[in-house]
Amino acid sequence: MSVFDKIYALADQVEKGSTTELDDRARACRGTKEMLKDTKALLESVRVQLSEGWHGGAGEAALNSLDAFKKNRDDQAQDLEESAKSFETIRDALAKARQDARSKRADAQDLQKKLDHGWHGFGIRQVDLAVAWAQDKAVKAQALVLLADLERVTTTYDAILLIEGQKLRFRTGQVWELAGSEKRNLAEIGAIMLREIPGLAALVAKNPELRNALLHGEWDKLMQNPEVAQKIYDYLGFKYNKEGDFYTTGEHSMQSYMGWRDLYDKLGRVLGMKLDETGTDGDNMEFTDPQTGKTYRLELWKGKYGNQAFGGEVGFYTSDSPNNNGHFNAAQGDDQIKVTQTIYNKENGEVYYTNDGQGADGTDKKHFWNLAIRTDPDVNPEQLGQRATIEVRDVEMRDRMYNEMTRYAAAHPDDHLTVTKGSDHPPTLSYDWQK
């Protein structure tokens, strides 16, 4: 490749960039910033209304929360403003680099013409040869200077891309610190986990192997350490049931968990969760009460929770209407169900453990979620079966649930789900899921 080819190729690298696209990104940031201001104003109006009814004592925490939510919006808006500035900095750097590249390209084209001209008509006299040779060397030297200049232009531009790119990359979420964790590199997630999960840093500091595993995102290795597994389960809101040797979850810790649904899903993936679940093809077990329009969804999970643990879950959710775009809430009040879930080995029938409603508030054992996970690396998740008895508030609801589960089972023969009706007093049904 000649020196001129190199100059043109280098100029191409910046000339092809689009300042318009960078402008668009900055504009998008500012558009979102305006929307955040609107949400903040709506939050403020809730705060004002609430403060009118508050006269000290109760309500103070709610007002503080609303202030915190407003601050979240300010932080997000500020974040987007800074992001917009990064895009504009890159846009300006690109515009400058493009301008410089165009000018160097024009200079190079002139030089190249000179070079061609210098050799034109060569071959008649000795002296022509000498002049042409001298001109050739002079022009090529100038071209090398141009190339060096252009290299400086692209290196400077690259430095801006590096600095602003890093600024953009290292912005964490403002409402949710682990936002973007699927795309973040594993060491970044590790650093955030160290900061977020109480006691994990001290544990990891004592053990260089664990630190190494965390920095390299070797979640399986981390979860093999029972103390680390305990801390992570605690963080996700799980409670240990000593009697049955399994983790379950309380109703209220799960309220906060619900907000962390995405975190759970994402951490679930990095922690090596591999679960069978109902509804993966979009066909969920859902039924509607024709009197009220209230719609119910039952979901089942079972399988591997990291390399160290196995178990299952039964979740029950409600929505005020069937037209809910898939948005359900955790069942509350008398919609809650009483579940006795057993995790067993479907090949030899061995029962591993049973959660008879642990984790529920009070003594009624009614919950929206029956979860039971045991840490034991030697159990093969492929062999897991789940069976459960579900008690609901009345026979009508039981029958609707039974009909829906039967429909689902017939539509998904690979799930190997069998459902049987139990007693009417109390209204129960049982199922066995051997997927």
Partner 1 sequence: MGFEVDVADISNAAAKLGEGKPPTLSAEGSPNVGSTARAGSFAGDYDVWLATRKDDLDAAQQQVESLVESIQTAAKSYHGTDSEARDAFLKALDSSFERIDR
Touching partner 1, residues 245-304 (CB under 8 A): 252, 255-256, 258-262
Binding mask 300-339 for partner 1 (x = CB under 8 A): -----------------------------x--x-------
Among 104, 105, 184, 302, interactor with partner 1 by CB under 8 A: 184
Q: Is there binding between residue 1 and partner 1 (CB under 8 A)?
A: no
Among 87, 233, 310, 433, interactor with partner 1 by CB under 8 A: 87
Among 7, 90, 139, 143, interactor with partner 1 by CB under 8 A: 90
Strand partners, 84: none
For residues 22 and 14, what is the distance between their CA atoms, to the nearest angstrom?
Answer: 13
Q: Is there binding between residue 25 and partner 1 (CB under 8 A)?
A: yes
Q: Is there binding between residue 49 and partner 1 (CB under 8 A)?
A: yes
CB of 22 to partner 1, least distance (A): 5
**Stretch in the footprint of partner 1 (CB under 8 A) among 28-36, 194-202, 208-216, 403-411:** 28-36
Angle at CA of residue 416, ends 415 and 417, nearest 5°: 90
Among 2, 5, 18, 212, interactor with partner 1 by CB under 8 A: 18
Among 176, 235, 240, 264, interactor with partner 1 by CB under 8 A: 176
Q: Is there binding between residue 109 and partner 1 (CB under 8 A)?
A: no
For residues 136 and 117, what is the distance between their CA atoms, to the nearest angstrom?
Answer: 10
Number of shown-chain residues binding partner 1 (CB under 8 A): 81
**Stretch in the footprint of partner 1 (CB under 8 A) among 34-42, 304-312, 364-372, 388-396:** 34-42
CB of 18 to partner 1, least distance (A): 4
User: Which residues are CB-contacts of 96 (< 8 A; sequence separation ≥ 6)?
Assistant: 157
Residues 350-409 that bind partner 1 (CB under 8 A): none
Other CB atoms within a 10 A radius of the CB of residue 278 amount to 24
Residues 140-169 that bind partner 1 (CB under 8 A): 154, 157-159, 161-162, 165-166, 168-169
CB of 189 to partner 1, least distance (A): 11
DSSP 414: G
Cβ atoms 372, 341 nearer than 8 A: yes
Taking alpha carbons only, the member of 134, 133, 136 closest to residue 114 is 136
Q: Is there binding between residue 243 and partner 1 (CB under 8 A)?
A: no
Q: Is there binding between residue 410 and partner 1 (CB under 8 A)?
A: no
Q: Is there binding between residue 17 and partner 1 (CB under 8 A)?
A: yes
Task: Output the CA–CA distances (angstroms, integers) from residue 103 to 4, 15, 147, 384, in the order listed.
Answer: 14, 11, 12, 70
Long-range interactions of 21-27: CB distance < 8 A, separation 24+: 22/87, 22/88, 22/90, 22/91, 22/94, 23/87, 23/88, 23/91, 25/84, 25/87, 26/84, 26/85, 26/87, 26/88, 26/91, 27/84
User: Which residues are CB-contacts of 111 (< 8 A; sequence separation ≥ 6)?
Assistant: 4, 139, 142, 143, 146
Q: Is there binding between residue 66 and partner 1 (CB under 8 A)?
A: yes
For residues 35 and 95, what is the distance between their CA atoms, to the nearest angstrom?
Answer: 30
